[in-house]
């Protein structure tokens, strides 16, 4: 049954930039250092310390803006967002408000039904992260504060309320995640909090002109939880409205254990923050030349890669999409093709055995023990007939385990395929002689027995006989009988 209600969803995403140093000081952004070791007067918020903007952060913001078709503002301004929190020693966060660096872009997603849909991007702005509170445990009576994270650069990417289901929200989030990772501006690690999502959700009657009141679901750290949290929240709001209640504007937390959202606090309005331009920082001026420079240096994005893989390399759209989904995997595949120009052959091994091996060992593409050069070398040996596809499985595993090249393994283990018909004929004669009964059955029309003979000959050759030659010679000899 089609619901009388329609959901409206807008996402705010915080993506942590992969710059080496923080946004307004020279402290390291590395994860996992001893508490408060990556701090200085600026990021500790000591009085009198002055922030200096990290140029790389601006460049990264421009990259994100260009990739999402935003307008890059020639002049943008940092503002103070005032609030009290123990992990925010200055009493304000430096962010952008009225004049953000990027405005008015969009990303394209594919809906569940396979249609394309454009999701608007309202704005992208630069800001600093706050520190982190650590609570030693119930009853301890105190908390720790770690300010290593204070001042780490973030991009906040705010979408238009264009999504109408949890699935669309997840599709947009995945697209955005893929984009920032491709751009090399964010490591995309959701567990470590490098990519965090707040989901704004409201419901309204189908066809209603105005949006309903939204609730904001804070800091959801996996794609699966985003889907669960939004679906739960839509149901909750519909039930509430159906029972004559009203949705209040508030911030809610998703509890991934129980699968429900709970009210955390009433939602602040912008005026609560008393935003004003930060007097310590000059406006950010971005020249047209700089934008061009960044545009020229943009890496190839997934859409373009998929197009090139299907046209120049002749892959199917499905294969191209799978390989391009992950930039590291796409690079691996291309390094393989650079060694041996058989895109389809290389793609099959990468999408099959390589992904399987990585999955089983829980490794990322970057940590793959088998180099793409060695894999390309192996596919070349299949294509030139040195080894069969079957023996290749053995070579593959050996390359994976030992790091040796295919050629070396083929030599050391004597895996070279036997194509010499004299040698194969000898084996075929022996097998037919030893299995006279089956040979008679074959000649009497029992075609199925042929497979048995192929198996026996392959086994006798330790898998090294060329399968095509075995087939041909067997047919010929069995027919003679």
Q: Which residues bind Mg ion (CB under 5 A)?
A: 12
19 Cβ neighbours under 8 A, 6+ residues apart: 29, 54, 56, 57, 60, 153
Count of other CB atoms within 10 angstroms of residue 226? 25
Which of the listed partners (Zn ion, ligand ADP, Mg ion, none) does 43 bind, with a CB threshold of 5 to 8 Å by partner kind? Zn ion
Q: How far apart are CA 220 and CA 473, in angstroms?
A: 63
The alpha-helical segments, DSSP class H, found in 183-301 are 223-242, 288-296
- Shortest Cβ distance from residue 6 to Mg ion (Å)? 21
Question: Which pair of structure tokens corresponds to residue 211?
Answer: 């949006």
Using CB under 6 A as the binding rule, whether residue 10 contacts ligand ADP is answered as yes
Question: Does residue number 275 form part of the binding site for ligand ADP (CB under 6 A)?
Answer: no
9 binds, among Mg ion, Zn ion, ligand ADP, none (CB under 5 to 8 A by kind): ligand ADP
| Contact range with ligand ADP by CB under 6 A, out of 8-16, 221-229, 424-432, 447-455 | 8-16
Give me the residues paired with residue 15 across strands: 155, 195
Q: Tell how many helices (H) and how many strands (E) occur in the chain.
A: 17, 16
Buried/exposed code over 117-126 (b: 16+ C-beta within 10 A; e: otherwise): bebbbbbbbb
Determine, following the binding rule CB under 6 A, whether residue 14 of this chain makes contact with ligand ADP: no
Q: Which is nearer to ligand ADP, 174 or 408 (CB)?
A: 174
C-beta contacts of 286-291 below 8 A and 24+ residues apart: 286/58, 286/62, 286/72, 286/73, 286/74, 286/75, 286/76, 286/101, 287/74, 288/74, 290/62, 291/62, 291/66, 291/72
Tell me how far, at minimum, the Cβ of 370 lies from ligand ADP, in Å. Answer: 43
Q: Tell me the closest approach of the beta carbon of residue 88 to Zn ion, in angstroms.
A: 14
Q: Which is nearer to ligand ADP, 100 or 377 (CB)?
A: 100
Shortest Cβ 288–ligand ADP spacing (Å) = 28
Q: Does 343 bind ligand ADP (CB under 6 A)?
A: no
* Of positions 21, 68, 93, 202, contacts ligand ADP by CB under 6 A: 202
Strand partners, 156: 14, 125
Q: What are phi and psi of 416, to 5 degrees?
A: -55, 135
Among Zn ion, Mg ion, ligand ADP, none, the one that 158 touches (CB under a kind-dependent 5 to 8 A) is ligand ADP
Is residue 9 near ligand ADP by the rule CB under 6 A? Answer: yes
CA distance 153 to 56: 10
Region 147-166 residues binding ligand ADP, contact defined as CB under 6 A? 158-161
Q: How far is the CB of 22 from Zn ion (least distance, A)?
A: 5
Residues near Zn ion, by CB under 5 A: 25, 27, 40, 42-43
Question: How distant is the alpha carbon of residue 291 from its chain centre?
Answer: 26
- Nearer of residues 62 and 158 to ligand ADP, judged by Cβ: 158
Binding residues vs ligand ADP (CB under 6 A): 8-12, 158-161, 200-202, 211-212, 214, 216
């Amino acid at each position: 049954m089609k619901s009388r209600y329609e959901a409206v969803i807008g996402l705010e995403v915080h993506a942590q930039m992969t710059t080496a140093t923080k946004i307004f000081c020279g402290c390291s952004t590395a994860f996992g250092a001893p508490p408060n070791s990556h701090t200085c007067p600026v990021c500790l918020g000591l009085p009198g310390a002055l922030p200096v903007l990290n140029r790389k952060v601006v460049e990264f913001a421009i990259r994100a803006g260009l990739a999402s078709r935003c307008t890059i503002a020639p002049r943008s301004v940092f503002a103070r967002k005032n609030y009290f929190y123990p992990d925010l020693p200055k009493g304000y966060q430096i962010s952008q408000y009225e004049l953000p660096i990027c405005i008015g872009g969009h990303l394209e997603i594919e809906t569940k039904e396979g249609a394309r849909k454009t999701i608007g991007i309202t704005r992208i702005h630069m800001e600093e992260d706050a520190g982190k509170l650590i609570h030693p445990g119930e009853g301890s009576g105190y908390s720790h504060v770690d300010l290593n994270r204070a001042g780490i650069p973030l991009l906040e990417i705010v979408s238009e309320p264009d999504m109408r289901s949890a699935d669309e929200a997840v599709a947009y989030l995945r697209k955005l995640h893929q984009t920032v990772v491709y751009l090399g501006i964010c490591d995309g690690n959701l567990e470590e909090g490098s990519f965090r999502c707040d989901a704004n959700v409201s419901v309204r009657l189908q066809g209603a002109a105005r949006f309903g009141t939204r609730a904001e679901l804070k800091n959801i750290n996996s794609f699966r939880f985003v889907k669960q949290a939004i679906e739960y929240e839509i149901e909750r709001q519909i039930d509430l409205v159906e029972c004559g209640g009203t949705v209040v504007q508030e911030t809610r937390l998703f509890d991934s254990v129980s699968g429900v959202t709970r009210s955390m606090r009433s939602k602040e309005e912008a005026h609560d923050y008393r935003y004003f331009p930060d007097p310590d920082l000059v406006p950010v001026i971005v020249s047209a030349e700089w934008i061009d420079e960044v545009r020229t240096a943009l890496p190839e994005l997934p859409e373009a890669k998929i197009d090139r893989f299907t046209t120049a390399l002749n892959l199917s759209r499905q294969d191209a999409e799978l390989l391009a989904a992950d930039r590291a995997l796409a690079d691996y595949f291309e390094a393989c093709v650079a060694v041996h120009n058989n895109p389809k052959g290389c793609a099959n091994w990468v999408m099959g055995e390589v992904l399987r091996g990585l999955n089983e060992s829980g490794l990322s593409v970057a940590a793959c023990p088998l180099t793409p050069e060695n894999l390309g070398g192996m596919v070349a040996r299949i294509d030139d007939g040195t080894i069969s596809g079957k023996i290749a499985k053995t070579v593959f595993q050996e390359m994976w385990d030992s790091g040796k090249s295919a050629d070396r393994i083929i030599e050391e283990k004597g895996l070279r395929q036997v194509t010499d018909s004299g040698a194969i004929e000898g084996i075929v004669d022996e097998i037919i002689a030893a299995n006279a009964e089956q040979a008679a059955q074959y000649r009497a029309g029992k075609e199925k027995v042929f497979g048995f003979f192929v198996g026996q000959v392959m086994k006798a050759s330790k898998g090294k006989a060329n399968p095509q030659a075995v087939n041909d010679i067997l047919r010929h000899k069995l027919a003679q009988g």
